[in-house]
Structure 1
């Protein structure tokens, strides 16, 4: 494999610093709906699933998956929706309640900082910041196009219409409060019928927590001597969503520089990490996201004492379609 060399400026263009994240407050159909109108959406790598032309995209090149984030103040929630491909979250800051089902009452689970949730495809899901401060969750979305958008529960579309936002069948939002209207020949997004809704399962909480949730401190114990395999064919959460996820801690860092033919995204959870590569070095802080290209030699090491962890995501040859379902 031919190895690469990147200058510090070239690598910095592949790093999205937490403090430089640009939010969008009008990303989705529930942007005016009370209880959901204070959330912020971040598109870090790839186009994401935003329905707003105002969404800022930090890195447009996709490695076979998308990276995004959601930031919300306390008691703010994201409305019930579904995706056609994987949606994986880990909690960077705060305490979050995830809930699912047609009406959001089929089950729920509370995630603490570092916990990760590989949400099954084909179910309606939502989430809420139940902490006391502004919270942030990081997201990995399957596919280069993130599955072709969001599928909203019918009541979400109806509630949004009452507060001035109309979603077109093209997936674009129109704000009637600003005098916008659907173009001629363009219809509103149709509501799912009762028959279509039968295809969205209501999963029991016990099965979801057992098969789709991994707790941070369990993963840290597994990562004591080698990377903890979190999501993958032979990982703790056995799934093949088009990418694999590992957690690296202080004791599981590769001793030498390494090269891979896969795209690799580093998402720092705790601590500061020194990243050295053929051409330079830098320090990654909590919340930073770094897209390392195939063929580039790199080495990782915590730059300070104390707790250190990061999630490492790599693309696989698995198709980014529906993965595990209920």
Structure 2
């Protein structure tokens, strides 16, 4: 394996290529400054303009969303996991058909395993450009996005029409739906009953982990964040661990499944097949099964990293009403 082969599986934060027309609300005031990033896998973008950094999928997708202050992502739902951790800034997550069922504020490093089957949105409530990193369940990221009806109606008023084929058409650019493609139908009142209005007390304790709690939990071993025996108990088709300076040894090891490394704080030295490089906050590295590697913080000071490992569990629903 050459240095170039390894670098193809590392996406640097500074080299991320955004798409500003990824979703149906790209022209909607308040949401028209969003930047969507597809890092590993095809993601759920509805635009052919979306750049994909690594097309291979390890059983899940990695993406990111960047937004200036007061910019929001409109209410939508997924059929598989959507996990976010805050890389930069301060974010408000909200859910329910009109975003009024519940909300909480996420700080840098916090992670949210959003329950499937509910409408959710998020907004940058910080003072600077913010970035959240995303893990989406399944190789095809659950087949796309289901939008709240009012989102589709408002987007149409601003020139964007979503076809039932999942492709966006911009009437401001003279685009029209193909003759054999109908507009994406709005969910009926009966269908909307399948999307629960979940109170905040049923979401935050079960699906949110705070950064400084994870720092305290990660002692001599990584903290288990998402998994069957983790802090946030779930089986979304992947597991998430939280690594710190004291919870990992600088020794060669391998995993049976694909692993993705996503630094949160500090600089991490990755050794792989005789090659050594440094991973920085916002970088993403894909490690293949049975690939021997070593990982350790490369400088003094605070160091933290999220590690995502594929599992054999199907990428199905994560929400349970109990």
TM class by shorter-chain length? over 0.9
Equivalence for 1:3: none
Asked if residue 215 in structure 1 is aligned to residue 215 in structure 2, the reply is no
Equivalence for 2:89: 94
* Structure ranking higher on relative contact order (CA contacts 8 Å, 6+ apart): 1
Q: What TM-score, normalized by structure 2, do the two folds share?
A: 0.99
Deviation at 1:224, TM superposition (A): 2.0
Give the alignment partner of residue 322 of structure 1, picking from 292, 317, 320: 317
**More deviation in 202-211 or 12-21?**
202-211
CA RMSD of aligned residues (A): 0.7
Equivalent runs, 1:1-326 vs 2, <5 Å: 6-326=1-321
* Deviations 1:54-86 (CA, angstroms, capped at 9, x unpaired): 000000000000000000000000000000100
Question: Which secondary structure does the structure 2 equivalent of 1:147 belong to?
Answer: helix
Deviation at 1:254, TM superposition (A): 3.0
Question: Which secondary structure does the structure 2 equivalent of 1:274 belong to?
Answer: strand
Name structure 2 gaps, 5 residues minimum. Answer: none
* Deviations 1:107-152 (CA, angstroms, capped at 9, x unpaired): 0010000000000000000000000000000000000000000000
> In the aligned structure 1, how far is the partner of 2:27 from the partner of 2:311?
38
> In the aligned structure 2, how far is the partner of 1:310 from the partner of 1:190?
41
Question: Which secondary structure does the structure 2 equivalent of 1:310 belong to?
Answer: strand
Asked whether the equivalents of residues 69 and 137 of structure 1 are also in contact (C-alpha less than 8 Å), the reply is yes
Question: Which secondary structure does the structure 1 equivalent of 2:219 belong to?
Answer: coil
> In the aligned structure 1, how far is the partner of 2:8 from the partner of 2:258?
15
* Deviations 1:275-320 (CA, angstroms, capped at 9, x unpaired): 0012311000110000011111110111110000000000001000
> In the aligned structure 1, how far is the partner of 2:141 from the partner of 2:44?
6
Asked whether the equivalents of residues 239 and 324 of structure 1 are also in contact (C-alpha less than 8 Å), the reply is no
Q: What TM-score, normalized by structure 1, do the two folds share?
A: 0.98
> In the aligned structure 1, how far is the partner of 2:96 from the partner of 2:300?
43
Matched pairs, number: 321
Question: Which secondary structure does the structure 2 equivalent of 1:218 belong to?
Answer: helix
* Deviations 1:151-195 (CA, angstroms, capped at 9, x unpaired): 000000000000000000000000000000000021000000000
